[in-house]
Structure formats: structure tokens, C-alpha cells
Amino acid sequence: MKKLLKVCGMTQGDNIRQVDALGIDLMGFIFYEKSPRFVHEVPDYLPLHAQRVGVFVNASFAVIIEKAEQFGLTYIQLHGCEASDLCQKLKEAGLKVIKAFSIASVDDLLATTNYQEVCDYFLFDTKTPAFGGSGQSFDWDILSHYQGATPFLLSGGIGPESVEALKCFSHPALVGYDLNSKFEVFPGVKEVSKVNAFFSSLQLRR
């Protein structure tokens, strides 16, 4: 089965339109005010092909629902210390849930245990002192110890130079890749040609 491609941190209408036209599967919009990719207002174009993912950090249920309605979100990606109860509540509201986990060692995988039944996907990212991405990769070999039933997206420092390494990495629960900073012209705007080349190199097109 072909892997999903998610492009995160989109902000500008024309750029969203161009990336959406590539045929990617998921597009992320960040609603964390401390992020340089924070979406201040609804762009003048929202993806029609890619499913829309809202990225939140310790936001309330009410705020998440408001943004989900405003942006037509399909997925909610939780990047903070959110409890599994919130994931369950979001699913009951008809939303799909991605829970992000910061990984630096095998012990970090233990945090997934309480979320197995309430998330559609996990996202494994590089552990950092603050919330959000670092543009750095973690040791993917750690994931050989992940034996959960919930499939996951791989994130953290994936760039154009990662293609060969990704071709060599496999896991039965791996369903896709999350791209962000290494494909940018500047924060919030992606270099479409780089995304397109990556998409083609991994033969992800449907």
C-alpha cells in the first residue's frame, strides 16, 4: 500500500493551491500562536484534494471545534500534553485524531499506551525542549520497538536528502511521512518543486 504524504505548516492561499495540486494526501494548518507557521486567518484558498489537518498544542475542546468548523478540518493533530479523554471526545464529535509523540529513546514509546484506542494515527517526531518541530531527525531504529496497533506517520527533519534513507526504512505500522521546514522558502511557504520531487522519488502518487 502506498504511503500517505502530509505537508504541514501551510499559510498562504496560492502556495496551498499549488501544493494541493500535486495530489498530496494531508495538509496541516498550525493553530499554535508561538509557531512561526501560525495561521492568523483563513487563507483565500483551502485544499480541495488534500484532507485538512489542524495542529493544536494544549488547546481546549471548544477552541478545536471552532477551528474545525471554520477551516473544514477532517483531522485534529495534538502536539501537546493532551489527555486521551480529549482524543475520545474529538472522535465522538466526528473528527479523526492524530496524536504526536516526541521520541528520543525507547522509553518515549511507552506514552502511546493510553492512546491506542482513541487515535486514528500517531505521529512520531524528534524530541525537543519546546513544542513543535526542530528540523532534526531522530534515530528511526527506536521505532523497531513500537508494537502498537495504531499506525503512525514519520516526522522530524525529513528533507529532500532523506529519500534513500526512507526507502530503506520499513515498519508494519508506518503509513506515511510528514514534511515541513526542509521544504520551505520561508516559514509557512513551501517550495513546490521540492515537494513534487520528493513525492515522485518515493513513488507516492496514486
Q: Which domain holds residue 100?
A: 4-201
Band of the pLDDT at 22, cuts 50, 70, 90? very high
**Model pLDDT, residue 2:** 87
Give the start-end residues of each E strand in 31-164: 51-56, 75-78, 96-103, 121-126, 152-154
Q: Read out DSSP for 157-175? A: S--GGGHHHHHH---TTEE
CA distances from 181 to 87, 134, 135, 158 (A): 27, 9, 6, 8
**Model pLDDT, residue 204:** 78
Is 159 in contact with 182 (CB distance < 8 Å)? yes
What is the β-pairing status of strands 4-7 and 26-30? parallel
The three cell numbers locating residue 56: 493544536
Average model confidence (pLDDT) across the chain: 94
* Better-predicted residue by pLDDT, 204 or 54: 54
- Count CB atoms within 10 A of the CB of residue 85: 11
Band of the pLDDT at 203, cuts 50, 70, 90? confident
Structural domain contains residue 144: yes
Structural domain contains residue 156: yes
Band of the pLDDT at 205, cuts 50, 70, 90? low
Is 56 in contact with 78 (CB distance < 8 Å)? yes
Which of the following is catalytic: 20, 25, 125, 178?
Answer: 125
The predicted-structure confidence for 188-197, as pLDDT tens digits, reads as follows 999 999 999 9
Structural domain contains residue 155: yes
Structural domain contains residue 79: yes
Structural domain contains residue 206: no
Number of domains in the chain: 1
Mean pLDDT for the stretch of residues 61-66: 98
Does the annotation mark 168 as catalytic? no
Residue 69 belongs to a domain with what CATH number? Answer: 3.20.20.70
Structural domain contains residue 12: yes
**Model pLDDT, residue 134:** 56
Structural domain contains residue 147: yes
Structural domain contains residue 84: yes
The predicted-structure confidence for 112-170, as pLDDT tens digits, reads as follows 999 999 999 999 999 876 655 556 789 999 999 999 999 999 999 899 999 999 999 99
Q: What distance in Å separates the CA atoms of residue 174 and residue 45, rounded to the nearest whole number?
A: 30
Does the annotation mark 125 as catalytic? yes
Band of the pLDDT at 206, cuts 50, 70, 90? low
pTM as predicted: 0.95
**Model pLDDT, residue 135:** 65
The predicted-structure confidence for 46-59, as pLDDT tens digits, reads as follows 999 999 999 999 99
> What percent of the chain stands above pLDDT 90?
89
Phi, psi of 82 (to 5 degrees): -65, 140
Which of the following is catalytic: 8, 20, 119, 178?
Answer: 8
